[in-house]
Homo-oligomer: A and B are copies of this chain.
Amino acid sequence: MHTHQNHHQPKIIHLSEIKDCLSSLNLLDEISQGFVAYSKGEAILPPVGEMLFNNPPGEVHIKYGYLNSENYYVIKIASGFYQNPSLGLSSSQGTMLLFDKNTGVLLSILLDHGHLTDVRTAVAGAIAAKYLAPVSAKQIGIVGTGIQAKMQLEYLQEVHPCRKVMVWGRTASKAKDFQKSFARTEWNVEACDDLENLCRNSQIIVTTTPSKSPLIKKEWIQKGTHITAIGSDTAEKIELDPSLLAHADKLVVDSLEQSNSRGEVFRAVEAQKISRGHLVELGSLITNPSLGRKSTEDITIADLTGLAVQDLMIAKGVFEYYKR
């Protein structure tokens, strides 16, 4: 293969190499730093680029941006083509590109096939739980059975001692499969076909479905519960009844700006169930944990739609470890 002498060649990092790097990184710290910088106004994150496809149906999101304090800019492409599994392909596809923000030189292509997006999303869930979840929680309720449902547990492990899990899926057999996949682990996972039961008996709930109508009712949520809502990252997707958001004592979002146009908060504002006045940004909460849970009775909700600053921090971490 020829290379051109006068041009810098990007490092191409394959998925197995990316996974090797990830195991050596402190992702909670790295991505927390990204949220903090974002909430301090140190990030330039232009609006998410979107492109829709009809036949077959699909969507592409382009998230990009940089931090003034870092030497990189990132462009992350993530797509969802929901008929892919019938072709033996993951519905999620994508890649991350890391550039030198002082010259525009392409430094690295991370051929992660969507894995880094899955990881940085799970890490954000863990960060939210670290600051909001009740320490005494006896059961974690997982709503949804896909890859993100599993990964949320993987990273929750780092911030919370609870290992008892109830899982619910819109397809009951998938919840059973989920349970089986944790058979020889330290997790005690029970499949459940009654979402109300799951909600009434879990003190930490993580929702990970692409539902377009609310799944979880206000009445099901006990005092003291924390909910992390991961699934909705567009204007159409919604997992929580808007009344539940009105009922919460604390609402945290990863981005005040993005919550104007996507996610659970957007939908609850649109339904005129909440006003935006009391929202707290995750980065502000990390800086000042007293902005979070005030009592063991509080219901807290974190609504996460995903920020390019997470992509930036994870791509940076992998790249710097790889070339170390």
Min distance, Cβ A62 to any Cβ of chain B, angstroms: 6
A49 at the interface (CB under 8 A from B): yes
A58 located at the interface, meaning its Cβ lies under 8 Å from any Cβ of chain B in the complex = yes
B9 contacts A101, C-beta separation under 8 Å? no
Q: Which of B53, B64, B104 contacts A101 (CB 8 A)?
A: B53
Q: List 22 A-B contacts (CB under 8 A).
A: A7-B15, A46-B51, A49-B64, A51-B64, A51-B65, A53-B66, A56-B103, A58-B104, A60-B64, A60-B73, A60-B99, A60-B104, A62-B75, A75-B77, A77-B97, A79-B99, A79-B104, A81-B102, A89-B103, A93-B103, A93-B106, A94-B104
For A101, the closest partner residue in chain B by CB is B53
Select one of B4, B58, B101 contacting A16, CB under 8 A: B4
Per the CB 8 Å criterion, the residue count for chain A at the interface is 51
Q: Does any Cβ of B come within 8 Å of A21's Cβ?
A: no
Is the CB of A256 closer than 8 A to any CB of chain B?
Answer: no
Within 8 A of B (CB), among A37-86: 44, 46, 49-53, 56, 58, 60, 62, 64-66, 73, 75, 77, 79-81, 84
Q: Which one of B4, B8, B62 lies within 8 Å of A14 (CB-CB)?
A: B4
Q: Is A201 on the interface with B (CB-CB < 8 A)?
A: no
Q: What's the nearest-Cβ distance from chain B to residue A87, in Å? A: 7
How often does this chain occur in the complex, in copies? Answer: 2
Knowing A4-B14, A15-B4 are in contact, say whether A106-B95 is a contact too (CB < 8 A): yes
- B109 & A80 in contact (Cβ 8 Å cutoff): no
Q: Is the CB of A104 within 8 A of B75?
A: no
Q: Nearest Cβ distance between residue A319 and chain B, in whole angstroms?
A: 16
Taking a contact as CB atoms closer than 8 A, the residue among B2, B4, B51, B93 that contacts A105 in the complex is B93
Please tell me if the beta carbons of A10 and B111 are within 8 angstroms of each other in the complex.
yes
CA distance A99 to B7 in the complex (A): 24
Q: Judge if A273 is at the interface, Cβ distance under 8 Å.
A: no
Complex Cα distance A151/B160, Å? 61
Interchain nearest-CB distance for A90 vs B (Å): 8
A208 to B53, CA, bound (A): 35
State the CA gap A99–B92 with chains docked (Å): 13
Task: Check: A113 CB closer than 8 A to any chain B CB.
Answer: yes
Given contacts A3-B16, A56-B103, 10 further A-B contacts (CB under 8 A): A4-B14, A9-B111, A12-B109, A46-B49, A51-B65, A62-B62, A62-B64, A87-B103, A94-B106, A106-B111
CA distance A3 to B87 in the complex (A): 20
A17 is an interface residue with CB less than 8 A from chain B: yes
- Give the shortest distance, in Å, between A54 (CB) and chain B (any CB): 8
> With the chains together, A94 CA to B99 CA distance in Å?
9
CA distance A104 to B102 in the complex (A): 30
Complex formed: what's the CA distance from A317 to B65 in Å? 30
Known: A10-B111, A65-B51. A102 touches B16 (CB 8 A): no
